[in-house]
Amino acid sequence: MLKITITSPTKCFLENPSKDDLALIKDKLTYTDTSAVFNLKNLNKNKWLKENKPYTFENRKKELEAKVKNCMLNFDQKSGRYWFHPGSISYLGLEADISNEIEYPEASKIAWRKPLPFTLYPYQGESVERLIEAKHGCVELATGTGKSAIIMTLARELGLKTAIITPSKSIFLEMLHNFEHYFGKSVVGAYGSGKKRIGKKLTVCVSKSLTLLKKGTPEYEFFSNMDVIISDESHLNAAETLETVFHDVMKDVPYRFFLSGTQVRGDGKDKLLQSIIGKKVNSLNTREAVEGGYICPVKFFIFNTRSNDIKDYKDPLKIKRKKFLYNENIADISAKISNSAWKCGQESTLILVEELEQIKMLVDRLQVPFEYVHSASKANASKYGLETRKVDQAVEAFNLGHVKVLIGTSCIATGTNIYPTHNTINWVGGASEVRTKQGAVGRSVRVLKKSKYKEYHKPKAFSKIYDFNVENDEVMKVHLKKRISMYKETTNQIKFLDI
């Protein structure tokens, strides 16, 4: 039987593997970086760079070619053994005799400053228990099912030096607020978004900020000596961020927990993600969560429309931009839904977009109080007559009912708690699983009646999610077909509408 010795949280060795074992493991630990493939394809199309700066072209080409194929099986010259990351073990599908030499500090439960005002659902309690038992593992729970409560309970039950790692400013601010509220500022630190409070037992962080740590600094020493990592929405981090934070800065942290609504990536690096997040110990999909009454039911409506742009484009990204994102007909439909939803039904609407141009198109059409958020610079926003906004303030204005429409880019598409989504308009398009499930579906399923905002809004028995079928473009039809297949994981209530 294959023998594996785990010597650290990020390194395990193969003990005298056969040639067949090595070949099989190498194959299972090799992946193709599709983003590098895409960039290489675009580079080869760049005739100007190739002709005018051949040295730059060739260097860039070699750099990208080296990134296409990646193998996570490594050879240690000193010991003469092969090694890989322990998180990959459960994904190899092989029987193995595993020896674990990691030392885990004993748990020392800490007190709540204010206890959670609810009892954990069964799947939440199971997630806590199974993660602690696994010591290194992940859960995949549908958006809106209360991952924050699981994270806080994990931190409390272990009571050790813990880093709670978030992928964005909006998620960071919300998580920090929760931790300070339930544990108190005396035990909660913060690192990211301009905040640098270290030395506390529990520290909420932004992953990008951890990649900037310099060896030898007090901050680097503090985080590298943590006992526990808890990562929220782990799949959202860039691949380089994942490697730097979890396989470098925090390579020796023993307890490692990862939570997400979708433990997949869209760039071919799922095997890299698996090597970091470890074994999946619990899961709950959106349909199961709806049936259990944990999140709000949804209904989907697809509007049949057309693009006024009849030009042919070869680049799929340009096709999407010209035929879908800049589609005046979609802008008209979105504004009509939003205006009439409030004027006729006292319902609020969330509109998810991708670019500033779309926000501008909507601003010119909306007739009810609205707010918008984006992550663009002040200079870029001003080109469209737009301003910069604070995400947390805009979301709170929508949750409180001060505005009836909230328009947002990816800065609020994942991990942001938005409750009065009687209607959600998915004007993002594409076929990304993360942007579809975590975006349109994920932002729509928060249960309004269980939130502190319920008194400000009409009751929400279910959410209506709107999407668009651009009938005169085949690429857009393919994208929609893929989105619909994801929608069907939640419900079969999908209806096509003509204008």
Tell me, yes or no, whether 89 and 212 share the same domain.
no
Q: Is 178 a residue whose pLDDT tops 80?
A: yes
> How many domains does the structure of the chain reveal?
3
> Is 152 a member of any domain?
yes
Tell me, yes or no, whether 320 and 183 share the same domain.
no
Among 66, 100, 134, give the residue marking a domain's end.
100
> Is 385 a member of any domain?
yes
> Is 69 a member of any domain?
yes
Confidence at residue 261, expressed as pLDDT on a 0 to 100 scale: 78
> Is 160 a member of any domain?
yes
State pLDDT tens for residues 424-482. 999 999 988 778 887 899 899 989 998 899 999 999 999 999 999 999 999 999 999 99
Among 221, 251, 284, give the residue marking a domain's end.
284
- Assign 381 a pLDDT band (cuts: 50, 70, 90): very high
> Is 14 a member of any domain?
yes
Quick one: average pLDDT of 353-369? 97
Confidence at residue 196, expressed as pLDDT on a 0 to 100 scale: 93
Tell me, yes or no, whether 276 and 127 share the same domain.
yes
Total-model pTM: 0.75
> Is 19 a member of any domain?
yes
Quick one: average pLDDT of 389-416? 90
Tell me, yes or no, whether 17 and 146 share the same domain.
no
Tell me, yes or no, whether 130 and 87 share the same domain.
no
Domain extent at residue 318: 295-498
Tell me, yes or no, whether 42 and 80 share the same domain.
yes
Q: Which of 290, 308, 134, 165 is nearest to 235 (CA)?
A: 165
Tell me, yes or no, whether 129 and 149 share the same domain.
yes
The CATH number for 247's domain is: 3.40.50.300
> Is 116 a member of any domain?
no
* Least confident stretch, 126-140, 239-253, 321-335, 349-363: 239-253
Query: Residues 17, 20, 26, 31: is their CA dihedral positive or negative?
Result: negative
For 269, 330, 374, the CA distances from 478, given in Å and listed in that order, are: 23, 18, 28
> Is 430 a member of any domain?
yes
State pLDDT tens for residues 230-253. 998 765 555 567 778 888 999 999
Confidence at residue 268, expressed as pLDDT on a 0 to 100 scale: 74
Among 284, 304, 328, give the residue marking a domain's end.
284
